[in-house]
Structure 1
Amino acid sequence: MVDVLADPALYSFIGGTPPTLAELRTRYTRLVAGSPDDRQQWLNWIIRRRPDGRAVGTVQATVTDDGTRAEIAWVVGTAFQGQGYATAAAAALVGWLDGRGVRTIVAHVHPDHTASAAVAQRAGLRPTDRFDDGERLWVRAADVPS
């Protein structure tokens, strides 16, 4: 994952800088341990391409509200963008969460990040008029009032 997340351009919209191996080990150790808040569950996967299993990115969800709400995110390394990995992973995650009774699914997308907005749309989310920390909130269409 260090190589997948190494390109500084990857952080143009999400902020931050490429993590070192030590930083990733610390982050992944914390994620595997789970949330310190027993009212939320952290779910994290590495996106792998077929057939070789090479890591291309991550997808994650933070589930709250007794399992009825999730905030999701995806990151795909720049070398693997535009190949459908984020769309496939985000759509699979939304379907997986839906199958477990999660009713509200939210993603935060920078308003200028058209590729991520397209991923959100293809995963069944739609934009709202709400913003959080400069990012537009996208919500699964069934949960957005008409």
Structure 2
Amino acid sequence: MKNLILSLLLLVSGLTLAQSEPIKVVFDVTSSNPDVHRTAAKHLRLMAEAYPDSEFELVVYSGAIKMVDRKSSAAGETLEEVVKRDNVSVVVCAQTMKRHEMEMDDLIPGIRSVPDGIFEIVMLQKKGWGYIKEVN
């Protein structure tokens, strides 16, 4: 009897820990540090794989522009892989691109631009998205 109760408790606790509903998370990256770029891309990939019914967006702006540069990104391979997933989007601020004289052809394929990175984050938060700031 004790084993049956213990088994039921373990089953119930396992079900409680499982994701019960999809989530939506926006990752904010402004750092110019390549280590932050690699870590943010890894977090995005791991979350997207672990929660395929959830949505994730990585917003790049300011000093993080190199993160999405197809020629010099420290996280390029991971980003190229992860943007192919249906539950992931990676966007870059068009104002940041303009300031750094970058065009869409300079970006890792699959990455799109938004008019303003900060506005993008605020609008997603307004819609109930969770927020993660990737820092050193």
Q: Same fold (TM over 0.5)?
A: no
Larger gyration radius, structure 1 or structure 2 = 2
Q: TM-score, normalised by structure 1?
A: 0.31
Higher strand share: 1
* Structure with more contact order per residue of length (Cα contacts < 8 Å, sep ≥ 6): 2
Task: Tell me the TM-score normalised to structure 2 length.
Answer: 0.33
